[in-house]
Structure 1
Amino acid sequence: MDSTILWGSLALLMAAVLVPEGRNRLGYTAGSIGWGLFAVHWSLQFIHFLGIRDYYNVFLTAVIITFSLLMSYMMLKGRDSGSQSRILLKATSTAAIGGIIYYAFVEVAFLKNWIIVFVKDQIVMTLLAFGVPLTTTGNIIYFRENELGIEIILACTAIESIALFVAMILSVDAPLRRRLGALAMSIGIIHVTNVLRTVFIATAYWYEWFGAPQASFYMAHTVIAKPASGLILFAVAYLLLRMMPELLSGILDLWKYVSGKVRDLLSAPTLSP
């Protein structure tokens, strides 16, 4: 059921972007429903993360739900042809493109298997280049002979971050050459640093750099690699904004538009009993 809700929301979001300009009312209605369904999808994820006490993702999903509901409301109320309303279509385009790219790799077995194998092979080659003895079985990499296996799953491929940056770049009105350069820069840095991140985690785990294997894995993965990944994504975003000032302008325009609508909602008069 969740998959149906998700793909339904993405289809409606993309439809909102593709509807001809002369039929704005239809497009904005589709976008409003699409954002609403997107909020429903993330509400189900919120319940899941709350159940397993993953409070970091609980917070992130709560932010996404709030933003999705706000976008749904603004799409419903902003069904006109003004330039400000087109800001909503840019944000909708980014969400639709990013969602379709990411969830295609989640749902389509061929794409999912391909990217996992591709990233696993890159990790194995890097480990071997550093002289780490290993063996592999399927998508599992073992230290020496079947010791302390690490399974490479979709979350190890950085496809979420890649999909986000690709969506932002493709949604911006900029010359093709600069967009291609931005794609090469962002995808390249994210992929290479993700491979090195996994190599670091595996090596720390196998060689017990921070104590017992499980303690070393936790320290390398959660305490060191996760914040480092955030800093790298921040750096990539900074470089992207330098390469594509149109993207920064779009983000600022969206912020002004959304914050203005929120202020209007908060300052709206209430009825007294």
Structure 2
Amino acid sequence: MNMSPASAAAETGSVAGLEAVGATLTPAVIGSMGLTDLLAWVAIAAFLAALVLRWQGVPEPARHLAMGAWLTFGVFWLTMVPYYYYDVQSPLQTVLALAALPLCAYTGYLLWDGRDSLFLLTKAVAFMGLIYLPAETIPVVRTWLIETTAVQTHYGMELLGHSPGINEGANGYQSRFDFDSDETVTGRTTYIILACTGLGSMAIFGGLVAAVKAPFKRKAIAFAMAIGVIWFLNLVRNVFIGLASPWGWFQQDWLVSFMVTYMGAEESRVSFLVAHNYIAQSLSIVALVGITYLLVKILPEILEPLEDVLFVLTGNEYDLFEALGKDEVRADGGPEQQ
């Protein structure tokens, strides 16, 4: 079993894990942390400390600490590159992890240079960590999330005429779909890990919703909508990958030849890699954009941190409120005052 410092989509024998879209932190105590885990915890703690300093009226130290937090966050993603490239074999995740360091460093520089609007984006990332890390580090919560997702995914398979049963996966949870390797096309099956629960995406939107100022009712509705849509799409994704891998939906000869020759893939993993790393991950980007659009309809205040994201990516200022006809909404959720 190949276990990475982030959430592992490990494989051994006929078992193939559903690899992570986002990194999963696994330390139980500080002493057990690897470098990757430690960097993530330090970054989130520094984000929160910077926000506290700014709230207490000491903007300069807050700005400098936030800059360091962003740089640490970028280094965290850089440490994930070998895992995404060699273990997960995901071009998309590898490129994104590589791009994270310069983007985070630039964000930190902009904060240091006086772009205080980025404190809202900093706040959103801090809340994302607060949502994600406790669920990852509390064993009973982690177990419940993984095993509940496995049961729901199995039910989805049953609706499509497949009932393999569930047994213990290589990660120690009751999350492995017990397909008979002698009866399937590839001889492989999959098991659910924390990343397969959709928690990472839920944390992203939860952080955005929590960070902005708006009436509680609209924030609650937006959060519930985002969580519900993510849960459903994630379930469809798990069923799709969980069936495509053992039954070899993408084991066509030309595709196997290409993946083995040019991508270094193991022949029996081709269907899994195509389903997960190419189809599911590409569609997940489309889904994130769609969810963001729906969220803006309910909670246009999230446009404010998104404007800063676009500035970091392009170097250009954008007025998304005006572009989407939401210019009457202020960041405090009330009508604009002249």
Structure 1-normalised TM-score?
0.81
- CA gap of 1:218–1:8, structure 2 versus 1, over 3 A, is closer
- CA gap of 1:91–1:207, structure 2 versus 1, over 3 A, is same
Given candidates 138, 146, 158, the residue that maps to 1:128 is 158
Q: Which has the higher helix share?
A: 1
- CA gap of 1:55–1:32, structure 2 versus 1, over 3 A, is same
| Count of residue pairs the alignment pairs up | 255
Aligned residue in 1 for 2:222: 182
Displacement of 1:54: 4.3
Distance 1:176 1:211 in 2: 49
Greater shift in the superposed pair: 25-34 or 134-143: 25-34
Within 5 Å, give how 1:19-168 maps onto structure 2: 19=53, 20-50=55-85, 54-78=90-114, 85=116, 87-137=117-167, 138-143=174-179, 148-168=188-208
- CA gap of 1:7–1:21, structure 2 versus 1, over 3 A, is same
Distance 1:251 1:22 in 2: 25
Aligned residue in 2 for 1:200: 240
Distance 2:276 2:40 in 1: 29
- Structure 2: stretches of 5+ with no match in the other structure: 1-34, 168-173, 253-267, 318-338
Q: Percent identity, please.
A: 26
- Structure 1: stretches of 5+ with no match in the other structure: 79-83, 262-273
- CA gap of 1:218–1:58, structure 2 versus 1, over 3 A, is closer
Distance 1:107 1:65 in 2: 25
Distance 1:128 1:106 in 2: 29
- CA gap of 1:103–1:225, structure 2 versus 1, over 3 A, is same
- CA gap of 1:108–1:175, structure 2 versus 1, over 3 A, is same
Q: Secondary structure at the match of 2:120?
A: helix
Distance 1:18 1:255 in 2: 26
- CA gap of 1:202–1:182, structure 2 versus 1, over 3 A, is same
Distance 1:49 1:198 in 2: 19
Question: Which amino acid in structure 2 is aligned with residue 15 of structure 1?
Answer: A
Deviating 4+ runs (over 6 angstroms): none
- CA gap of 1:35–1:134, structure 2 versus 1, over 3 A, is same
* Aligned-pair Cα RMSD in Å: 2.7
Q: Secondary structure at the match of 1:132?
A: coil
Q: Secondary structure at the match of 2:57?
A: helix
Displacement of 1:161: 1.1
Q: Relative CO higher for 1 or 2, CA cutoff 8 Å, sep ≥ 6?
A: 2
Given candidates 306, 327, 332, the residue that maps to 1:251 is 306
Distance 2:279 2:316 in 1: 38
Q: Secondary structure at the match of 2:166?
A: strand
On the 8 A contact 1:17/1:27 being kept in 2, the answer is yes
